[in-house]
A and B are shown apart, each in its own frame.
Chain A
Amino acid sequence: MNKIEVNGLTFSYEKRASSSRKNVLSGLNFTAEDGESIGLIGANGAGKSTLLKLMVGLLTDYEGELRIGGIRAEKASLADIRKKTGYVFQDSDSQLFMSTVYEDVAFAPRNYGLSEEETRERTLRALESVHMEQMKDRHIYRLSGGEKKRASIASILSMEPEVILMDEPSAALDPKNRRSLIHVLNGLSGTKIIASHDLDFIYDTCERTILIADGRLAADGPTEEILRDQTLLEDNGLELPLSFSRTLE
């Protein structure tokens, strides 16, 4: 079953200086099946973050069709869509706002009306999946960058989402934390869409990759096939991942 269906998705915003509109996404088409892990790549300004924001309803007023778990993304269905979708922000400091790790991870289950016992179960399960059960009482400001990222992921896992969207999850992580994050992501079930410039990270976490250039779908296929295509990447403002460029040398 398709978890995500995107048909002719077009999004534009009005330029402030002139009354003309700038197209950010133009006629995007793709689907994502249950449990698929998809890398979303593209140069800066290609439209990756916009696409993710449309999927969770932070941006609306698009043209075309966008369905998450069979529900059309529109203002009236935002609450249902958001229950099914977890979004990990690029900046963990903006995502984590409660005082302790436990309180932050428990924020969503409480908002969805779960009992304190269920909230506790879900929170501990989410923390366990990111290997942070020992840090549950730690204050957010005492966490390292890598720990904050894992706590951010736990904060959406406690919602038990069907779809997980991540914006640049490996940004500003050291190699050890990056490795640990790859391990965590590969252990997660559910459909994942990971937007990143870190192509090696995409190679390690996603079996399928979608390349967006100037708001259009430039390629969609197996990750290895796309990331090995030097011409395709360079034509769209990207470079071969480090691991592949070494092989070529």
Chain B
Amino acid sequence: MSRINEAVHEIHHLDAMASREGRINRIHPLSKLLVTVWYITFTMSFPVYEPGGIFGMILYPAVTMRAGGISAVRSIRKLKPVLLLVCAVGIANPFFDRAVLFRAGPLPVTGGMISMATLMLKGAFAVLASYLLILTTSMESICYALRLLHVPKIMVTMVLLIYRYVIVLLKEAERISQAYSMRAPDQKGIHYRAWGTLLGQLMLRSIDRAQTVYESMLLRGFDGSFRLSKKQKMDRRSAVYLAGWLGIVVLLRYVSVFKLAGSLLE
């Protein structure tokens, strides 16, 4: 399977996962969106020299994966490129901050190492939480929740259109790439000399397809804003989910569960 095909497949997988009738999927999208934003905000607020507490934040993704029947291995594998990018954010810290904080046996542990680890964990948890949101909530439902938060209609429509057009773009790219590789079977990848032509073709074809999709929308009464369907009521379970996680996240932020567990064991 080509990389482009894999990407299209992954988007379809996200759609399929989000439309399941699982326990987490049934929670009101606004609850899930608010919990995710809350979780990311508190995760990001950890001081960079306090890595101990941040480990407790694993609780939210772990519980969501367990309750939503989501494979942790698959999620991490799919997020690998983004996680690597996130990890690169703190990579320079050990070179700038060389003050030794403590020693782990013979190994001096510097402030730079600690802050690098904290930044990596923060980034990884934030990405994971966002991924879990889109795995358990369809894009339409997320946009519905955004509208409930009074995010401007134009922005919500743009998010939805971009999501739809990404698939159009990827499918066109796949067709072009397949047509190329069928006539260049011995070649690995696309030769740089063909890049310009193929990119031009991709752009023209995508515009053409996007135009037809847009015409199809216009002919069915589209006037610039999506009428989102899932006007769910916030039920008791969703309210409990929201209140529960808001509380748990605050608790995890200010009480180090590992320290607490250690002191209880002593």
Residues of A within 8 A of B (CB): 56, 58, 79, 82-83, 85-87, 89, 91, 93-95, 97-100, 103, 106-108, 110-112, 116, 119, 137, 139, 141, 155-156, 159
Give B13 Cβ to nearest chain A Cβ, in Å. 10
Q: Are A111 and B19 in contact (CB under 8 A)?
A: no
- CB-defined contacts of A106 to chain B, threshold 8 Å: 229
* Docked complex Cα distance between A89 and B217 (Å): 11
- CB-defined contacts of A155 to chain B, threshold 8 Å: 220
* Interface membership of B174, Cβ < 8 A: no
* Docked complex Cα distance between A225 and B171 (Å): 43
With contacts defined as CB atoms under 8 Å apart, how many contacts are there between chain A and chain B in the complex? 68
Q: Are A97 and B19 in contact (CB under 8 A)?
A: no
Q: Contacts A94-B212, A94-B213, A95-B216 given; indicate if A108 touches B16 (C-beta within 8 A).
A: no
* Docked complex Cα distance between A87 and B15 (Å): 27
**What 6 A-B pairs come out closest when comparing CB atoms?**
A111-B221, A108-B220, A110-B227, A94-B212, A95-B216, A112-B221
Residues of B within 8 A of A (CB): 12, 15-16, 19, 138-140, 164, 171, 209, 212-213, 215-223, 227, 229, 231
Q: Are B138 and A99 in contact (CB under 8 A)?
A: yes
Give A238 Cβ to nearest chain B Cβ, in Å. 26
* Docked complex Cα distance between A97 and B215 (Å): 11
- CB-defined contacts of B231 to chain A, threshold 8 Å: 116
Q: Are B229 and A116 in contact (CB under 8 A)?
A: yes
Q: Are B220 and A107 in contact (CB under 8 A)?
A: yes
With A100-B19, A141-B12 given, name 13 new contacts (CB 8 A).
A56-B219, A82-B219, A89-B216, A94-B212, A97-B217, A99-B15, A99-B138, A103-B140, A107-B221, A111-B220, A119-B229, A155-B220, A156-B220
* Docked complex Cα distance between A249 and B139 (Å): 58
Q: Are A99 and B212 in contact (CB under 8 A)?
A: no
Give A59 Cβ to nearest chain B Cβ, in Å. 10
* Docked complex Cα distance between A76 and B4 (Å): 43
**Listed residue (B139, B171, B216, B229) with the most chain A CB atoms within 10 angstroms of its CB:** B216
Give B125 Cβ to nearest chain A Cβ, in Å. 28
- CB-defined contacts of A94 to chain B, threshold 8 Å: 209, 212-213, 216
**Listed residue (B216, B217, B219) with the most chain A CB atoms within 10 angstroms of its CB:** B219
- CB-defined contacts of B212 to chain A, threshold 8 Å: 89, 91, 94-95
- CB-defined contacts of B16 to chain A, threshold 8 Å: 139
* Docked complex Cα distance between A139 and B138 (Å): 12
